[in-house]
Amino acid sequence: MPELYAQGDLLIEKVADLDLGARPHCGEVSRVVLAEGERTGHCHVLEGKVAFFRDDGLAMDLPTGLYIGHVKVTDGTARISHEEHGPIALPRGTYRIRRQREFDPKEARLVAD
């Protein structure tokens, strides 16, 4: 069973650790804006010792437009915060970040946040 976290329109899935050395331009940062809310402009912000990168080859199983990127929490715990949602603590590990969709019998729609 995958380890999943959700916050508004984001879905965070823990995945197998990845080698960051093979990823160009993948240095540690302390703050990443993962997504901006469509209705309010509030941001989903990740803070902590993390490396953020995009690799579309690691998201080929996702429908177009859902993949945001991967994040590796390199030390301690990182925190995802948003003004309208409770914070999420992510322990050390690698995670795939994507947008959520909601069910509609006629079409797949992105969750609005």
pLDDT in tens, 36-61: 877 777 888 999 999 998 889 889 99
User: Does 105 reside within a domain?
Assistant: no
Q: CA–CA separation, 109 vs 32, rounded Å?
A: 25
Provide φ and ψ at 42, rounded to 5°.
Answer: -65, 145
In a domain, 58, yes or no: yes
- Partners of 96 in the β-ladder: 13, 70
Domain, as residue range, for 58:
4-100
- Contact between 15 and 94 under an 8 Å Cβ cutoff? The reply is yes
- Number of domains, the chain: 1
Let me know if residue 109 belongs to a domain.
no
How many residues are listed for the chain in this entry? 113
Residue 106 lies in a domain: no
**Does residue 37 lie within any of the structural domains?**
yes
Distance CA 27, CA 105 (A): 42
Structural domain contains residue 39: yes
Banded pLDDT at 12 (limits 50, 70, 90)? very high
What's residue 46's pLDDT?
92
